[in-house]
Structure 1
Amino acid sequence: MKAPNAAVVLALLSEGASATSLGRHSPSVTCVSNSALAPWCMVLPESASDVSSIVKVLTKNDCPFGMRSGAHSAWAGANSIADGVTVDFGYMNTTTYDDEAKIARIRPGSTWGHVLSSLDPYGVTAVGGRVSVVGYSFYSSREGFACDSVANFEVVLGDGSIINANAKKNSDLFRSLKGGSGNFGFITRVDQYVVESNTMWAARQVYNTTQKNELFDAYFNFANNQSEDDASQNMVSYIYNADGFNLVAVLSNIDSSPEAAAFDEYMSIEPILSLSRVDLVSNLVVKSTGPAALGVYTTWLVGMTAHNRRVMDLINQAQIEYVEKMKEAAPDSNFVLHVQFQPVTCSIVDHSIAKGSNVLSLEDIVADGPSIMWLVEFTVDTLETQEQILPLCLEFRDAINHIADENGAQKNWDFLNYANGDQGPISMYGAKNVAFLQSVSAKYDRRQVFQRLRKTDFKLPE
């Protein structure tokens, strides 16, 4: 680690920002790999004005910095920095509701759990996470992605100016921020249209591995017919942990209907454990899906394939093979290898387009039907174990991509929220969208502060 830049730290303090060494501040963490990166200091703004002052100090001193909001991503360097200053939004964590406009005003330090519970008294909810700290929404089939429900972004640019970006003002920046990550400025508030209901039905069902074929068939057929029921969603996971393998399905219906016809095939399969209820969305984001994977050392890897039943089986076979390799490489280790399938459908993308579109380029991905987003969550108990078997996990990721290639199912699209640091999700938005993002960056960030000095998260392709 380089010596701290004392001039930067003193300048930040003189601006009145709350600053602390890492040893004095314990932010929420996704994994030890992230929290182990110790910056020169962490600065905790309480307003957009604070952020503006901070940006001016950082740019004046050409100081490297990192951004930290909900600390979602699981790779080291996603939201923390070793040599520089981390701007931590932990103090900007409130959500307020404008009943007349039907808009939730969300500060960047909020988690979805906090957002949803803040909206409960008003009988509304937000298009946000299925787990309290993160997520692809229960509402995606009816509302699109969370970014598609945004009405306005408040942004602090690289020169310290505070602007708003929406469909009428700075509309090019507005579209860029719907998928472009932290490449254009510090987002200090998100104004999002709400859903005028805050209850739903959800179930977490556990099955014996001998029921895999039945369960995979149910998932596959559900996704084929999801356009007929945009209130219902499903995802399926095959999980290895210290107790062995198990199968899990997460089912949900935003109209609070557990008997929706979309679930008939699932309901014909007897689970060994079922947890289901109608409840507030804020309660169900944890109860139905379990806590987020906050393991000691966590790696997420993601990709997308065509909606191909054979590919699901081949990925599952590869998972079983790699679990054995990992056990052989580290016999005394404690690790979890979790593979999740979730559908990305035409319905999700159609709603995105209807709301003004984003830069994700998914309309090309689902042009010939639904796709399978696969997510590998790899969690280990010690750094030594990670060093022993993480290379095998990365090999497993490569094996999945090889399976997709060999079966003509490769979609070449990685979901940024789930991607690992060695992936390049923004480059997969297509040449036209990448060129658009680069032009917006040149327009709003003339000194390229968020390409040169920002050291966290994914940058625009060069």
Structure 2
Amino acid sequence: MFSTRAIVASAIILAGLAWADSCDDIEDTSSIEVARPLSASYITERNDYWSTSCRAMKPTCVLFPKSAAEVSTIVQVLTSNSEPFAVKSGGHNPNNGWSSVEGGPLISMEKLDQVTLDEETGIARVGPGQRLDSIAAELDGTGWTFVGGRIGNTGVGGLILGGGLSYMSAQYGWSASSVIEYEVVLANGTITTASATQNPDLYRVLKGGGNNFAIVVSYLLQTYRQGNIFGGNLVFKHTDNNARELLKAVRDFTEYNTDDKAAVIVTAERAPVDLIDSWILFLFYDGPDVPEGIFKNFTDVGPILDTTKVQSYAKLMAGSNWAVLPASAVQIGTETVPLPSAADGEEIMGAFHEHWRSMSDTVQLVPGIVSSIAFQPFPKAIAEAALERGEDLINVDPDADRLIIEMNYAFSLQELNYQKMDQKMQETYGGIRNRVLAYQEQRKLPDVYCPLFMNYAFHRQDYWGRLKPEDAEFARDVAERYDPTGFFRDRTGGWKP
């Protein structure tokens, strides 16, 4: 008679054999590149994440498809078993299991890296293996630009599927707003396209719906005319007075700026024992000639460092990767908040900032800790530009100005500190949310629709619960139609409708 220990050991061995089936089957029956543990390409790909917590996850193998047909082959093999898997574009999302996987194959889109541009129309075919800095480099000198994010190392796939907030969003909407067509592999291995005229329901949910519906193997994008731009950073020492002035400046900019070519991000950052206690601003103008006074409220505060200059968008993207902290576990959370009035702005913006400072005070002894909060304007113009380019799941009405607040913790020794920082992140974004609700009860903030921005959301946040109910229901219906077995919903990470 077998002992309990022997039965458990046998089950583990059998499970391991079953989980290896996809890697073995793909290697034995196709020419798809399969990287095994200890190989150089496996190690490189496994380590190429923003967060060390994602790097700690161990896929059974890494698959490197080079075409839609090879992605289809992989999907068909995966449907014959029940192992988990993940699809990775750039690996910038720090939520464990979103683009990383333990005990199943990792599908790397690295080799699907095409960028083909029609220089007359500005229409480009782009693969999910591209990152923002590499796309910008490919387009540099053509006179066209992609509506991407703000950190060059960000992968195209995760950015667009989450919506994508750009310096150019007030002009052109979300990054996803400029997608003309998605080429996708469905849960049954079918290769098809989603556009306004073909599979329009799938087309809509892919704009803000994440990885729940298909694997995107290429994007057909509308790019836009662009020459040199103005951009860079302003750095300020933190003082109470600087904080008040910068918070007022970003509040006022969100409401009063009428030049859609101008964009700002206002970020506070701290590290232990006041080694860093500063404000870092990202300034951008889509053109070389900045109208006088447009950033005056920020520059008047008195930066101690100014890197802004006229440069190409490609150089701006290439120079932005200092924001990616190597060898750190990373956690990101978010809140979308109504913009407070000028009369209540100092109180409310100050309350958000002070809550974040009080939270960051409690983690100053965590090894390697860097805490930050970013106030990002979400004016009506972004919602208007997005709606002009078609429906998406985010579906924000241009009825109010808002702010997207991003909160970050980066730290060392993730094995010891991850759960503690998980709880701290919940308290941080939860405190912002509670303050919004309290101010709405007091009628100091308007009761407007404030969806969570997927690209910055923490794994414990209820992305689908913050969408309009009719949009969440629409996404569930589309998922049932295109993936009736729950292939993507049950076997990959991410927020599930």
Q: Secondary structure at the match of 1:77?
A: coil
Give the superposition deviation at 1:394: 2.7
1:204 paired residue among 220, 225, 233:
233
Which residue does 1:428 correspond to in 2? 466
The answer for unaligned runs of 5 or more in structure 2 is 1-11, 155-163
Comparing 423-432 with 284-293, which one deviates more in the overlay?
284-293
* Match runs of 1:178-197 below 5 Å: 178-197=207-226
Comparing 111-120 with 258-267, which one deviates more in the overlay?
258-267
TM-score, normalising length: structure 1: 0.93
Which residue does 1:234 correspond to in 2? 264
Partner Cα distance (1:59, 1:388) in 2: 37
Partner Cα distance (2:77, 2:424) in 1: 43
The answer on 1:222 being equivalent to 2:249 is no
Which residue does 1:344 correspond to in 2? 378
Contact 2:394–2:451 (CA<8 Å) still a contact in 1?
no
Q: Secondary structure at the match of 1:362?
A: coil
Partner Cα distance (1:80, 1:441) in 2: 22
Partner Cα distance (1:30, 1:394) in 2: 20
Which residue does 1:107 correspond to in 2? 127
* Match runs of 1:373-388 below 5 Å: 373-383=404-414, 384-388=416-420
* Match runs of 1:342-381 below 5 Å: 342-363=376-397, 366-367=398-399, 369-381=400-412
Give the superposition deviation at 1:274: 0.8
Which residue does 2:59 correspond to in 1? 39
Query: Relative to structure 1, is the Cα distance of residues 407 and 30 closer, same or farther in structure 2, using a 3 angstrom cutoff?
Result: same
Query: Relative to structure 1, is the Cα distance of residues 4 and 74 closer, same or farther in structure 2, using a 3 angstrom cutoff?
Result: farther
Which residue does 2:165 correspond to in 1? 136
Partner Cα distance (1:295, 1:348) in 2: 35
Partner Cα distance (1:342, 1:254) in 2: 17
Give the superposition deviation at 1:291: 3.0
How far does the alpha carbon of each residue in 1:225-258 deviate from its partner, in whole angstroms, 9 at most, with x for none?
Answer: 13x1101011111110141311122111102233
Contact 2:152–2:317 (CA<8 Å) still a contact in 1?
yes
Contact 2:84–2:104 (CA<8 Å) still a contact in 1?
yes
The answer on 1:438 being equivalent to 2:476 is yes
Comparing 348-357 with 126-135, which one deviates more in the overlay?
126-135
The answer on 1:172 being equivalent to 2:210 is no
Contact 2:136–2:317 (CA<8 Å) still a contact in 1?
no
Give the superposition deviation at 1:431: 1.1
1:146 paired residue among 145, 156, 175:
175
Query: Relative to structure 1, is the Cα distance of residues 273 and 40 closer, same or farther in structure 2, using a 3 angstrom cutoff?
Result: same
Give the superposition deviation at 1:279: 0.8
The answer on 1:448 being equivalent to 2:496 is no
The answer on 1:23 being equivalent to 2:55 is no
How far does the alpha carbon of each residue in 1:71-107 deviate from its partner, in whole angstroms, 9 at most, with x for none?
Answer: 1211111111113221111221232212244211111
Partner Cα distance (1:56, 1:386) in 2: 35
How far does the alpha carbon of each residue in 1:340-381 deviate from its partner, in whole angstroms, 9 at most, with x for none?
Answer: 000111101111111112111222xx52x2111111110002
CA RMSD of aligned residues (A): 1.9
Which residue does 1:418 correspond to in 2? 456
Contact 1:95–1:106 (CA<8 Å) still a contact in 2?
yes
Contact 1:132–1:292 (CA<8 Å) still a contact in 2?
no
Give the superposition deviation at 1:208: 2.3
Give the superposition deviation at 1:385: 4.0
Which residue does 1:313 correspond to in 2? 350
Partner Cα distance (1:19, 1:272) in 2: 50
* Match runs of 1:326-345 below 5 Å: 326-327=363-364, 330=365, 333-345=367-379
Which residue does 1:323 correspond to in 2? 360
Q: Secondary structure at the match of 1:374?
A: strand
Q: Secondary structure at the match of 2:217?
A: strand
Which residue does 1:53 correspond to in 2? 73
Contact 2:147–2:168 (CA<8 Å) still a contact in 1?
yes
* Match runs of 1:251-262 below 5 Å: 251-262=283-294
Partner Cα distance (2:212, 2:380) in 1: 28
* Percentage of pairs with the same residue: 22
Partner Cα distance (2:424, 2:339) in 1: 26
The answer on 1:163 being equivalent to 2:192 is yes
Contact 1:44–1:88 (CA<8 Å) still a contact in 2?
yes
Which residue does 1:459 correspond to in 2? 496
Give the superposition deviation at 1:58: 0.5
Partner Cα distance (2:437, 2:326) in 1: 31
Q: Secondary structure at the match of 2:267?
A: strand
Query: Relative to structure 1, is the Cα distance of residues 155 and 213 closer, same or farther in structure 2, using a 3 angstrom cutoff?
Result: same
Give the superposition deviation at 1:288: 5.6
Which residue does 1:79 correspond to in 2? 99
What is the identity, as a one-letter code, of the residue corresponding to 1:48? A
Contact 2:152–2:321 (CA<8 Å) still a contact in 1?
no
Which residue does 2:437 correspond to in 1? 405
The answer for unaligned runs of 5 or more in structure 1 is none
Q: Secondary structure at the match of 2:34?
A: strand
What is the identity, as a one-letter code, of the residue corresponding to 2:468? G
Which residue does 1:3 correspond to in 2? 16
Q: Secondary structure at the match of 2:38?
A: helix
Q: Secondary structure at the match of 2:82?
A: coil
Comparing 288-297 with 204-213, which one deviates more in the overlay?
288-297
